Structure formats: C-alpha cells, structure tokens
Structure 1
Amino acid sequence: MRALLVVNPAATTTSARTRDVLSHALASDLKLEVATTEYRGHARDLARKAAEDGQTELVIALGGDGTVNEIVNGLLHHGPDPTALPRLAVVPGGSTNVFARALGLPNDVVEATGALLHALRERSERTVGLGLAAGVPGTEDSEVPARWFTFCAGYGFDAGVIGRVEQHREQGKRSTHPLYVRQVLRQFLNEPHRRRGTIALERPGEETVEDLVLATVCNTAPWTYLGNRPLYAVPGTSFDTGLDLLGLARLTLTSATRYGTQLLTSTPDRGPHGKHAVSLHDLTDFTLHSQVPLPLQMDGDHLGLRTSVQFTGVRRALRVIV
C-alpha cells in the first residue's frame, strides 16, 4: 500500500525522534513517503495532491487536530467519495487529539502506532460522517470557502476562547489546558452579549431559535477533553449520524457556573441542560446568523469573524483506519 505520512513538527507532542520512530515502523508495512509541513495549510496541500495523484491509498497524520483538519480538507477538496479517496489514519501528536480519541485510538504515540499497524494488517476501517460549513448565499460571507470539520465547530463564545489561545501561541506559549481555562475566564469577563445573545438558528420547516450567546456544533462525542476528562456537550453525538448542536441563550455568572459544572460532570448520557439551553440532535442542514460579527472556529482553529454560517452534516464522507 502506498502511503503518505504528513508530519507537523510544530505540534505539541511531536518531535523529530517521534517522526523517525513512526516512519521506521510504518515503512516495513507500507511504501511510505514522509512530508513535513512548512506553513499553515501545507498539510491540506499535501493531502490534496495525494488525493489527486490516483496512486496514494493512505494518508497518515502525525500532529494535532489542526493537522487532521487540514488533511481532511485536502482529501475532500473535490467532495466526498469514500470508495475512491485515500483512507485517513491518525497518530496523535497534539495537546488534545479529540478526533483520534473519539475514534477510540490511544493518546500515546507509541501505542497509537501499534494500533495503526494492527489495524492495517487486519484491514480494519470505518467510514465516518463529517461536518461542512460554508458562507450563506446573499450575505456578506457568501464568498467564504466551504470548510470541513471532523469533530466540532463553534460560533460565538467558545470560538472567542480559541482566538485568545491562538494569540498566546503566536507569542510562543504552548497550548496547555491551564491556558485554555484562563482564556475561558477572560472571554467570559469580556463577553458583551452574554445576557442577551445575537445568534439565530434557522432550520428548514422549523421555528427560528433566537438570542443565543453561543452555538456549539458537534460531530462526535465527547466534544473535547480537559486533561483526561471527556466533556460531553450533546450526549449521543456520533460519527454515524448528522450534526448535534448545543446553544445557550444566557451566560450570566450564575448560569455560566451551572452550565460549566454540568459540562465538567457530563457523561455519555447527560450534558448541559436547563431553561436557557437548547440541545438538538441529528441535524442535516441549518444556518446560524448573528446581528453582529462573531468568531467562528472549526476543530480548534480560529477562522475569524462571521455574520452567518451554513452547516451541513454529511454522512459516510471518509474512510478512516481504526
């Protein structure tokens, strides 16, 4: 099997030694080419070329969720075609590795490499659904390119947190869980719309849900991890169904404390809930509009400000080695 290993050397737990050990282990079973990313978007470009060359059968990501997202967007540049596109495999090398862990893969590089080799020998794979976000026709964001995401997207509050974290990373700080916690607190203190949100959720044939402060879109469960603790925004979310959504219409100190506690104690069967919480399951098409530009993130990557975003859940979009 011809394979491409894409390595992000800037990922939190990735090193040259990790790359060498992994490539040596994989080379015994695969016709392996190794490429190291050199700029933002490079993994996407490499994956697109692999999808277009007609010879590469497998693309392996060594990096974090951002690297995986870029590779997925490269593979699906011309749209989903699970039977024709190269398969995807992931060896976690980031700080959180939500996509890999949601697939049931070990969060340790050595263990994940062993699991990948075993899956390749057993020809073990699954086809997963993905989310797609695009600009809304007729709005100022209509020309924004569509982008795929693997495990989550966020509009409003959590995207603002991601933006703050990225600013610190650009200053040379490492992406750690304490850094995220500090930025959550700062985002809360500086959130101008936490008492009355500006987001409206529109679905075909349904009433509009208005005045949301944030909207978190999930493609799998858990939503993310705090250290080794899984956090479930919408329990029951699955790679095998459409998209799920958690919306919050108020983030006062009292409600934020309550929802934060519910999130920290969430389980596969129970997530944040209450008077100002909206949970929706298995959505295929919906649109989020805001009265003011709000930050948007996908798979932990801050994408700037948007006034509207159209979401689509695409079932059985990509084959993954597991």
Structure 2
Amino acid sequence: MRALLVVNPAATTTSARTRDVLTHALASDLKLEVATTEYRGHARDLARRAAESGETEIVIALGGDGTVNEVVNGLLHDGPDPESLPRLAVVPGGSTNVFARALGLPNDVVEATGALLDALEAGSERTVGLGLASGVPGTDDAGTPPRWFTFAAGFGFDAGVVGRVEQQRERGKRSTHALYVRQVVRQFLGEQHRSRGTITLSRPGEDPVEDLVLSIICNTAPWSFLGNKPLYAAPEASFDTALDVLGLSRMTPAAVSRYGTQLLASSPEKGPRGKHAVTLHDLTDFTLQSQVPLPFQMDGDHLGLRTSVNFTGVRRALRVIV
C-alpha cells in the first residue's frame, strides 16, 4: 500500500528521534514516502500532488491541527470525492490535536502510531463531514479562496484569542494551555464590542440572528481541549452531520463568568445556554457578516480580519483511517 507521510519538523510534542522511530514503524507495513514540510502551506502542496498522482492511497499527517488542515485542503483542492481520493491518517504531534482526539485517537504519538497500524491491518476507516468557508459575493471578501476546516472555525472573540496566541508564538513563547488562558483574559480586557455585537448570522428561509459578539462554528464535539479536559461548545456537533454554531450576544463580565463556567462544566449532553446564547444544529449553508472587520480563524489558524464569511457543511467529504 503506497503512502505519503507528511512530517512537520516543528511539531511541538515530537523529537527528531521520535519521528525516525515512527517512520520506521510505518515503513514496515507501508510503501512509504516521507516528505518534511519546509514552509507554510507546504503540507497542502504535498497532499495535493499526492491526490493528483493517482498512485498514493494514504496521506499521513504527522503534526498538529495546522498540519492536518493543510493536508486536508491539499487532498480536497479539486473538491470532495471520498471514493477516489487518498485516505487521510493522522499521527498527532501538536499541542492540542483536536481533530485526532475527536476521532478517538490516542494523544500520544507512539500510541497513535500503534493504533494507526492496527487500523490499517483491520481496514478500519470512516467517512467524515467537513466545513468549507468562502468569500461572500458582492463584499470585500468575495475573492477570498475557499478553505476547508476539520473541527472548528471562529469569527470574532475566539479568533482574536488565536491571533494573540500566534503573536506570542512568533516571539518565542511555547504553545501551552496557560498561554491560551492568558490571551483569553487579555482579549476580553481589550475587546471593544462587549455589550453589543456586530455579527449577523443569515441562513436561507430563516430570520437573521443579529448582534452577536462571538460565533463559534463546530464540525464536531468536543470543540477544543483545556489540557485533558474536553470543552463542548456545541455538544450535538458531529462528523456525521453538517455544522453547528454557538453564538453569544453579550460579553460583559457577568456574561463571560456565566458562559465560561458553563463551558468548563460542559459535557456531551449539555453546553453553554441562556438568553444571550444562540445554538444552531446541522446547518448546511449560512453566512456571518459584521459591521466592522473582525478576526477569523479556522482549525486554530488565524487568517486575519474579515467582514463576511460564507459557511457550507459538507457531509461525507473525506475518508479517514481510524
């Protein structure tokens, strides 16, 4: 079986020795080609070439959620076709690894490699749905290239937090959960639209949802992890359905305390709720528009400021080894 292993050498939880051991283990069962990423977007380019070659059966992403996102976008460059595209496999090497853990994979790289080899031997796989974000016609963001995401996107507050974390990492800070918590506090203290939001959610055949401060778009549950604790922003979200949304229309100190506590106590049965919380399930097509430019992120990758984004939930988009 021909496979491409895409390795991010900057993955935060793997060493060169660990990567070598994993490569040898995978090569014992696969006809393996190994490619190490050298620049931002390289994993996407490698996966695209593998998909276009028609010879590669599996593309394995060894890295964090950013590496996985790039590989997925390379595989789906010409659109979803799960029956003919290479299957995706993931060996988590980042600080959080939401996509891999949402699939039920071990968070330890060695254990995850063993689980991948077992799944290959058993022929175990599933077809997952994904989200697609694109520009809105007739707006300043109309020319934005479409981009797939695997587990979540954010428009507004949480994307601002991601942007702050990236700035800290560029200054040499390690990506830790404590770093994220600090940036949540700083983003809240610096937020200029806490009392009244600027985001409107529109979907076909329904009244718009207005004045949102925060919009989290989930393709699966959990939405993220704080250490080993899963956080459920949208408990009903699933790889088997389209997209779920959690929107908040208030970010006052009282609201942040209430919804933050609910998020920390969230479970597969219960997420954030209240009169300033909007939860929507299984959406296939909707648009978020803001009166002012706001931060935007997908799969933990800050993509700058936007005033509008269109979202599409695509069921059964890609086969994944699990």
Fold shared per TM-score above 0.5: yes
Kindly provide the amino acid, as one letter, of the partner of residue 191 in structure 1.
E
Equivalence for 2:2: 2
The question of 1:273 aligning with 2:283 is answered no
The question of 1:13 aligning with 2:21 is answered no
Equivalence for 1:182: 182
Q: CA deviation at 1:14?
A: 2.0
CA distance in 1 between partners of 2:217 and 2:274 (Å): 18
DSSP 3-state at the match of 1:246: strand
Equivalence for 2:131: 131
Equivalence for 2:293: 293
* Residue pairs, 1:191-202, within 5 angstroms: 191-202=191-202
Q: CA deviation at 1:194?
A: 1.0
Structure 1: which 5+ runs fail to align? none
Kindly provide the amino acid, as one letter, of the partner of residue 314 in structure 2.
V
Instruction: State the aligned residue count.
Output: 322
DSSP 3-state at the match of 1:271: coil
* Residue pairs, 1:237-256, within 5 angstroms: 237-256=237-256
Equivalence for 2:222: 222
CA distance in 2 between partners of 1:62 and 1:153 (Å): 22
Equivalence for 1:120: 120
CA distance in 1 between partners of 2:145 and 2:27 (Å): 36
Equivalence for 1:303: 303
Equivalence for 1:152: 152
The question of 1:168 aligning with 2:185 is answered no
The answer to whether the Cα contact below 8 Å between 1:133 and 1:146 also exists between their aligned partners in 2 is yes
CA distance in 1 between partners of 2:80 and 2:17 (Å): 34
DSSP 3-state at the match of 2:256: helix
Q: CA deviation at 1:236?
A: 1.4
CA distance in 2 between partners of 1:40 and 1:80 (Å): 23
Q: 1:194-245: per-residue Cα shift (whole Å, max 9, x none)?
A: 1100000000000000000010000000000000000000111100001000
The question of 1:259 aligning with 2:251 is answered no
CA distance in 2 between partners of 1:38 and 1:64 (Å): 15
Structure 2: which 5+ runs fail to align? none
Q: 1:274-295: per-residue Cα shift (whole Å, max 9, x none)?
A: 0100000000000000000001
DSSP 3-state at the match of 1:174: coil
Equivalence for 2:96: 96
The answer to whether the Cα contact below 8 Å between 1:8 and 1:14 also exists between their aligned partners in 2 is no
CA distance in 1 between partners of 2:259 and 2:148 (Å): 28
Q: CA deviation at 1:19?
A: 1.2
The answer to whether the Cα contact below 8 Å between 1:14 and 1:62 also exists between their aligned partners in 2 is no
CA distance in 2 between partners of 1:118 and 1:11 (Å): 24
DSSP 3-state at the match of 1:90: strand
The question of 1:70 aligning with 2:70 is answered yes
DSSP 3-state at the match of 1:79: coil
The answer to whether the Cα contact below 8 Å between 1:157 and 1:187 also exists between their aligned partners in 2 is yes
CA distance in 2 between partners of 1:156 and 1:237 (Å): 20
Kindly provide the amino acid, as one letter, of the partner of residue 137 in structure 1.
P
Q: 1:251-288: per-residue Cα shift (whole Å, max 9, x none)?
A: 10001000000000000010000010000000000000
CA distance in 1 between partners of 2:32 and 2:71 (Å): 17
Kindly provide the amino acid, as one letter, of the partner of residue 147 in structure 1.
R
CA distance in 1 between partners of 2:14 and 2:53 (Å): 28
Q: 1:33-82: per-residue Cα shift (whole Å, max 9, x none)?
A: 11110110000000000000010000001100000000000000000000
Equivalence for 1:35: 35
Kindly provide the amino acid, as one letter, of the partner of residue 27 in structure 1.
A
- TM-score, normalised with respect to structure 2: 1.00
Kindly provide the amino acid, as one letter, of the partner of residue 116 in structure 2.
L
Q: CA deviation at 1:17?
A: 1.1
Same amino acid, percent of matched pairs: 81
DSSP 3-state at the match of 2:201: strand
